[in-house]
Amino acid sequence: MFVANLHRYRRLSVSEIATELTRLLGPLRREMSRATRAAEDLPDIPEAQIELLRVLVASGPVNTRDAAIALRIARPTVSNLVKAMTAAGLVERASTGDLRSAILVATPHARDMLYRFDRTSTATVAAAIDMLSPAEQDVLASAIPVLNRLRDLFEHAARPAPSASDASGDPLRT
């Protein structure tokens, strides 16, 4: 906890900020999920499955390839998620006529659970934020654009560089 408290006495270095951020984000997300699930007695569904449900609910039915692209994960990973989620009654595989491909659809049960999870998550996080001082709430609010920017930087850094054959002359294409 020494590094976590350094900000009270001096400005943290970039390395110290990175260390604290990497140590904090995973446990913070897990605790937020635990509190949300406990508040609504929701099942313990892995975050990756929740993310896939978000894609299916927001985009409508999609194939595994498009789901993998939307989630920025490998197609076999989506297939493994779908197997578990189908067994749990969260996803249905609609046939396209092509045995190698299927359309993924969130079940009504999954949609209801995701709605409850999101509603409860917002209320749970809001209740915790409400327990912070007004100054702490202001600091947290001011961090949101910075965290969004940081996410964008990671997303951009994770994209493969375009090959010479991909170049189309379009300055907006990356």
Closest-CA residue to 41 (of 97, 156, 118, 120) = 120
Tokens 């390839």 locate to 65
Closest-CA residue to 25 (of 137, 163, 151, 130) = 151
pLDDT in tens, 131-152: 999 999 999 999 999 999 999 9
Closest-CA residue to 103 (of 116, 90, 115, 93) = 93
From CA 19, how far away is CA 1, in angstroms rounded? 12
Q: Is 133 exposed, middle or buried (0-12, 13-18, 19+ CB in 10 A)?
A: exposed
pLDDT in tens, 12-70: 999 999 999 999 999 999 999 999 999 988 888 888 999 999 999 999 899 999 999 99
From CA 162, how far away is CA 54, in angstroms rounded? 29
The fold for domain 2-130 equals Arc Repressor Mutant, subunit A (1.10.10)
Instruction: List the beta strands (DSSP E) in 80-167.
Output: 91-95, 102-106
* Domain-wise residue ranges, the chain: 2-130
Q: Is 61 exposed, middle or buried (0-12, 13-18, 19+ CB in 10 A)?
A: middle
93, β-bridge pairs: 104
> What pTM does this model have?
0.73
pLDDT in tens, 62-113: 999 999 999 989 999 999 999 999 999 999 998 766 656 789 999 999 999 9
pLDDT at 166 over 50: no
